[in-house]
């Protein structure tokens, strides 16, 4: 299984957010391999008030400004990590939040990490999938085109996609920048 190339991420963020759906998030660890199909994403654009890079570059969001194809892992609400992929051209502070996965491989390891036996509860939300996949703050800035954490191309045809507004934010709530696979039972919320 090969990672998506950097060119995939070096495009308009909303397009990348839509086209990530159906691709596979893979993480090889000493504990084992976990793999899930990306079923829900959210785009965060530099001019968007909900985007961490909306105002300026900071030590926290520096990775969002490129190069594309890097992981942006941040701590939120004082208790959870979220996993994003950096997109668009270098110098543009944008990323795609991976909101939910359909678990496909390494379910026993995901269950152990999450302490939940139901597959629907393993990766149906950004904090849940980070925990289930074994992603930590040490993955911030990692290169997703090489190494043990990467996104591999789907072997299936492109899915039917629902476009809606994002959830769990206070600003930019009316922007249609959330995307999910229609009818998928593993999304975080309808």
pLDDT tens string 121-140: 999 999 999 999 999 999 99
pLDDT reported for residue 155: 86
Q: Which option is the CATH number for 6-181: 3.40.50.1110, 3.10.300.10, 1.10.3720.10, 3.30.2350.10?
A: 3.10.300.10
Which pTM was predicted? 0.96
d(CA 20, CA 75): 23
d(CA 78, CA 75): 7
Q: What is the DSSP letter of 70?
A: B
d(CA 137, CA 150): 15
d(CA 74, CA 140): 7
Mean pLDDT of the chain: 95
Indicate the domain borders of the chain: 6-181
d(CA 147, CA 75): 22
pLDDT reported for residue 36: 98
Phi and psi at residue 109, in whole multiples of 5°?
A: -70, -40
pLDDT reported for residue 5: 97
For 57-95, the pLDDT digits (tens) are: 999 999 999 899 999 999 987 779 999 999 999 999 999
pLDDT reported for residue 79: 78
């Amino acid at each position: 299984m090969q990672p998506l190339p950097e060119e995939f991420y070096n495009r308009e963020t909303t397009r990348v957010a839509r086209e990530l759906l159906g691709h596979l998030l893979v993480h090889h660890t000493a504990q084992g391999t976990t793999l899930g199909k990306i079923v829900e994403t959210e785009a965060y654009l530099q001019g968007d008030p909900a985007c961490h890079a909306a105002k300026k570059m900071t030590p926290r969001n520096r990775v969002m400004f490129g190069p594309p194809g890097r992981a942006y892992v941040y701590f939120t609400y004082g208790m959870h990590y979220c996993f994003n992929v950096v997109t668009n051209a270098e110098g543009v502070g944008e990323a795609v939040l991976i909101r939910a996965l359909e678990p496909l491989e390494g379910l026993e390891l995901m269950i152990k990490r999450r302490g939940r036996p139901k597959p629907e509860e393993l990766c149906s939300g950004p904090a849940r999938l980070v925990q289930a996949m074994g992603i930590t703050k040490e993955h911030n800035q990692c290169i997703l085109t090489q190494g043990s954490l990467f996104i591999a191309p789907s072997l299936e045809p492109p899915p039917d996609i629902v476009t809606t507004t994002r959830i769990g934010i206070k600003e930019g709530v009316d922007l249609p920048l959330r995307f999910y696979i229609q009818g998928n039972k593993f999304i975080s919320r309808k």
